[in-house]
Amino acid sequence: MTRETGARKAYTEEFKREAVALITEQGYKIAEAARSLDVGANLLGRWKREFETEAAGTRLGADEREELKQLRKENRLLRMEKEILKKASQYFAKEMK
């Protein structure tokens, strides 16, 4: 199987988890699992490390990353609204004098 230069295959989260399960649950060596799945051993090892750090709580899961993204967006909006209200209150305070 050949690919054009620069074209990368995208693997689903489910595929990655099942590939890592071959190593962690079924006792395959990384090289054996990588060969059987036609992926690089380095890539499979990286997936394994990522899932281990996620399980240890040092890496955010997909749902946590999405929540963090949403909270940051909401925080930016609230800060902007606060600045608008601050400027408006200053404007009206001058008008009252």
Q: Mind listing the pLDDT tens digit for each residue in 3-50?
A: 556 678 889 989 999 999 999 999 999 999 999 999 999 999 999 998
Q: Is 14 left (phi over 0), alpha (psi -120 to 50) or beta?
A: alpha
Q: Encoding tokens for residue 91?
A: 């404007």
Number of residues assigned to the chain: 97
pLDDT for 86: 94
User: How confident is residue 93, by pLDDT bands cut at 50, 70 and 90?
Assistant: confident
pLDDT for 96: 80
Largest CA distance in the chain: 80
18 closest CA partner among 44, 55, 42: 44
Q: Which residues, other chains included, contact 68 with Cβ-Cβ below 8 Å and sequence gap of 6+?
A: 60
CA distance 38 to 9: 11
> What is the SS3 assignment for 97?
coil
Residue 91 has pLDDT above 70, yes or no: yes
- Cβ atoms of 28 and 22 within 8 Å: the answer is yes
pLDDT for 19: 94
